Structure 1
Amino acid sequence: MSARTLTLVALSLLLGLGAALMANNWLSAKLNASPDDNLQAVVVATVEIPFGQMIEAQQVTVVRMPKGTVPDDAFDATDKVVGKIATFSMLRGDILRSARVAEHLGGSTLASLIASNKRAVSVRVDDVVGVAGFLLPGNRVDVLATRKNGGSDGAESRTILQDLRVLAVDQTASTDKTQPVVVRAVTLEMTPKEAEVLVKAMSEGRLQLALRNPLDDQKKTEPKVASAKPVPVPVPVVAKPVVRRIDGGYGVIIIRGTEVKVAKAQL
Structure 2
Amino acid sequence: MRMIFGLVLLVGIALAGGAVYLAKGQIGQYKNAIARAEAAKSQIVPTQKIFVVNRALKYGEKLSKDDVRIVDFPIAALPDGHFTELTAIFPETTDEQRVILRPIEKDEALLSVKVSKPGEDAGLTSRLERGMRAFAISVDVSSGVSGFLRPGDRVDIYWTGRSGNGQNRLEVTKLIQSTISLIAVDQSSGEVEGARIARTVTVAVTPNQVASLAQAQSTGRLSLSLVGAGDDIVIANNIEVNQQDLLGIVKETKAPAAAAEKVCTIRTRRGAEVVSIPIPCTN
Interval of TM-score (by shorter of Structure 1 and Structure 2): 0.5 to 0.7
Structure 1 gap ranges (5+): 1-37, 224-260, 262-267
Q: Distance in 1 between matches of 2:122 and 2:110?
A: 22
| Aligned 8 A contact 1:121 1:190 in 2 | yes
Q: Distance in 2 between matches of 1:103 and 1:159?
A: 37
| Aligned 8 A contact 2:184 2:203 in 1 | yes
| Aligned residue in 1 for 2:184 | 168
| Aligned residue in 2 for 1:187 | 202
Q: Distance in 2 between matches of 1:66 and 1:132?
A: 42
The answer to whether structure 1 residue 48 and structure 2 residue 56 are counterparts is: yes
1:151 to partner: Cα distance: 6.2
| Aligned residue in 2 for 1:4 | none
| Aligned residue in 1 for 2:38 | none
> Aligned to 2:212, what secondary structure does the other structure show?
helix
> Aligned to 2:70, what secondary structure does the other structure show?
strand
Deviations 1:153-189 (A, max 9, x none): 8410011011111111111110152x21112111111
Query: Residues 221 and 105 from structure 1, CA distance in 2 versus in 1: closer, same or farther, beyond 3 angstroms?
Result: farther
Q: Distance in 2 between matches of 1:40 and 1:103?
A: 24
Q: Distance in 1 between matches of 2:121 and 2:60?
A: 14
Q: Distance in 2 between matches of 1:59 and 1:176?
A: 23
1:49 to partner: Cα distance: 2.8
Amino acid at match of 1:64: D
| Aligned 8 A contact 2:101 2:190 in 1 | no
Amino acid at match of 2:206: T
1:131 to partner: Cα distance: 0.9
Amino acid at match of 2:177: L
| Aligned residue in 1 for 2:220 | 205
| Aligned residue in 2 for 1:114 | 128
Query: Residues 87 and 194 from structure 1, CA distance in 2 versus in 1: closer, same or farther, beyond 3 angstroms?
Result: farther
Amino acid at match of 2:49: A
Alignment of 1:86-235 (within 5 A): 86-103=100-117, 106=120, 109-149=123-163, 154-177=170-193, 179-222=194-237
1:87 to partner: Cα distance: 4.9
| Aligned 8 A contact 2:83 2:110 in 1 | yes
> Aligned to 1:199, what secondary structure does the other structure show?
helix
1:79 to partner: Cα distance: 4.7
Q: Distance in 2 between matches of 1:132 and 1:78?
A: 44
Query: Residues 171 and 104 from structure 1, CA distance in 2 versus in 1: closer, same or farther, beyond 3 angstroms?
Result: farther
Q: Distance in 2 between matches of 1:99 and 1:210?
A: 27
Q: CA RMSD in A?
A: 2.7
Q: Distance in 1 between matches of 2:124 and 2:237?
A: 32
| Aligned 8 A contact 1:114 1:120 in 2 | yes
Question: Identity across aligned pairs (percent)?
Answer: 26
| Aligned 8 A contact 1:84 1:103 in 2 | yes
Amino acid at match of 2:105: L
> Aligned to 2:223, what secondary structure does the other structure show?
strand
